[in-house]
């Protein structure tokens, strides 16, 4: 029997998931506790005790703010593997872009539905109930090769596309909005207010040449880095493969690219820093479920679910 981490309980006592989960205490008695309206189908428990949160996030107003990255050949993926991912937090149900390139590989949301636009036709939807409100959620767009792309939300595959976009030129990137580019890939004009993100993002990473996630996975608990060891359904990456890394480690580092490629990152519309983050530098947890089915929790807990 394998196991997977369970739920995220904030240090204020709020339990975050999305949908429902069954926490079964003893396989012999069958006692369990069911909690609704939680953070994710895959529950990723990490708490943020006082003084332990790692960094913060970029806060966007939904009308005039976004983060843009100057056009680069590093964003020309062709039919090679790549991964674009980040943590997001939205407080609106309007149409919003989590990130966008000028020609494809874009992730958008409307209500509780997430969309992937592969550069042709209408965006592909995930179905309802995927995007939570006022809760952090992790999104990853992963292309394994020129024949398949997947979108994961909180470590679970929600979209599979067998005709993914294969970018062929240098291009710019916008996080939380849309950027239009000229043929050189340099930022030229910014799009309208349609699609601006209302909320926050943090730990945005672009990896070229590696499909970081090869199946459903446990979402990260700590800030991203330019290198990464492999684990279950998560591939190793090295610093040369990380092409953009915005960890938002502090208010003074909102637009600092920690990938080593020194991308030119612009704060459009004076987005602000916020201390809110889903990530911690310390993995904490303390939970006990008695055989009676009673769940004992202090301010944080570590729930591990068995998977047959």
Residues 39 and 99 in one domain: no
**Rounded-to-integer distance, Cα 204 and Cα 245, Å:** 6
pLDDT value for 16: 54
Residues 72 and 198 in one domain: yes
Longest dimension (CA), the chain: 66
Task: State the residue range of the domain holding 37.
Answer: 2-52+281-307
Average pLDDT of span 171-181: 83
In the predicted model, is pLDDT for residue 9 greater than 90? no
**Rounded-to-integer distance, Cα 272 and Cα 117, Å:** 28
Concatenating the DSSP letter of every residue in 31-60 gives -EEEEES-B-SS-------TT-B---EEEE
Buried b (16+ CB within 10 A) or exposed e, 57-75: bbbbbbeebbbbbbbbebb
Q: How many domains does the chain have?
A: 2
Torsions phi, psi of 263, nearest 5? -65, 150
CA distances from 148 to 126, 203, 266 (A): 16, 25, 31
pLDDT in tens, 26-35: 343 343 333 3
Residues 153 and 232 in one domain: yes
Residues 107 and 185 in one domain: yes
Whether the Cβ atoms of residue 22 and residue 307 lie closer than 8 Å to each other: no
Residues 31 and 130 in one domain: no
Q: What is the mean pLDDT of the chain?
A: 78
Residue keyed to tokens 């592969």: 118
In the predicted model, is pLDDT for residue 250 greater than 90? yes
pLDDT value for 15: 55
Could you tell me the pLDDT band of residue 231, with boundaries at 50, 70 and 90? confident
CATH code of the domain covering residue 120? 2.60.120.200
Residues 198 and 293 in one domain: no
Residues 161 and 294 in one domain: no
Residues 117 and 76 in one domain: yes
Residues 160 and 288 in one domain: no
Could you tell me the pLDDT band of residue 77, with boundaries at 50, 70 and 90? very high
Residues 216 and 269 in one domain: yes
Residues 197 and 66 in one domain: yes
In the predicted model, is pLDDT for residue 307 greater than 70? no
Whether the Cβ atoms of residue 103 and residue 111 lie closer than 8 Å to each other: no
pLDDT in tens, 138-167: 999 999 987 899 999 999 999 999 988 899
Residues 20 and 106 in one domain: no
- Closest of 243, 211, 188, 221 to residue 47, by C-alpha: 221
Whether the Cβ atoms of residue 7 and residue 16 lie closer than 8 Å to each other: yes
Instruction: Give the DSSP H/E element, type plus range, for residue 106.
Output: strand 106-110
pLDDT in tens, 88-139: 999 999 999 999 998 899 999 999 999 999 888 888 999 999 999 998 899 9
Bridge partner list, 20? 36
Average pLDDT of span 39-45: 34
In the predicted model, is pLDDT for residue 39 greater than 50? no
Neighbour tally for 1: CB within 10 Å: 6
Q: Please tell me which residue, 278 or 241, carries the higher pLDDT value.
A: 241
Could you tell me the pLDDT band of residue 7, with boundaries at 50, 70 and 90? low
pLDDT value for 271: 97
In the predicted model, is pLDDT for residue 19 greater than 80? no
pLDDT value for 253: 95
Could you tell me the pLDDT band of residue 52, with boundaries at 50, 70 and 90? low
Tokens of 41: 């189908």
Tokens of 190: 């910014």
Lowest-confidence region among 11-25, 38-52, 106-120, 255-269 = 38-52
3 state SS for 231-294: ECCECCECHHHEEEEECCCCHHHCCCCCCCCCCCEEEECCCEEECCCCCECCCCCCEEECCCCC
């Amino acid at each position: 029997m394998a196991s997977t981490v369970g739920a995220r309980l904030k240090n204020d006592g709020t339990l975050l998931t999305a949908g429902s989960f069954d926490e079964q205490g003893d396989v012999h008695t069958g006692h369990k506790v069911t909690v609704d309206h939680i953070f994710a189908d895959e529950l990723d428990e990490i708490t943020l005790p006082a003084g332990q949160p790692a960094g913060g996030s970029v806060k966007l107003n939904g009308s005039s703010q976004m983060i843009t990255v100057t056009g680069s050949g590093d964003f020309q993926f062709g039919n090679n593997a790549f991964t674009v991912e980040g943590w997001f937090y939205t407080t609106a149900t309007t149409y919003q872009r989590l990130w966008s390139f000028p020609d494809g590989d874009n992730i958008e949301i409307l209500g509780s539905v997430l969309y992937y636009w592969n550069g042709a036709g209408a965006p592909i939807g995930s179905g309802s109930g995927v995007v939570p409100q006022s809760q952090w959620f992790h999104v990853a767009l992963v292309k394994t090769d020129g024949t398949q792309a997947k979108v994961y939300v909180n470590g679970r595959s929600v979209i599979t596309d067998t005709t993914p976009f294969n970018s062929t030129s240098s291009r710019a990137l916008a996080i939380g909005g849309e950027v239009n580019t000229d043929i050189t890939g340099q930022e030229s004009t910014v799009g309208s207010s349609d699609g601006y993100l209302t909320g926050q993002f943090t730990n945005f990473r672009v990896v070229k040449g590696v499909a970081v996630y090869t199946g459903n996975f446990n979402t990260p608990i700590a800030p991203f880095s330019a290198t990464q060891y492999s684990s279950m359904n998560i591939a190793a990456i090295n610093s040369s493969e990380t092409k953009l890394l915005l960890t938002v480690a502090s208010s003074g580092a909102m637009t600092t690219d920690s990938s080593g490629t020194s991308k030119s990152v612009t704060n459009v519309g004076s987005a602000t820093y916020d201390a809110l983050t889903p990530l911690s530098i310390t993995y904490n947890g303390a939970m006990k479920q008695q055989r009676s089915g009673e769940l004992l929790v202090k301010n944080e807990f570590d729930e591990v679910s068995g998977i047959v």
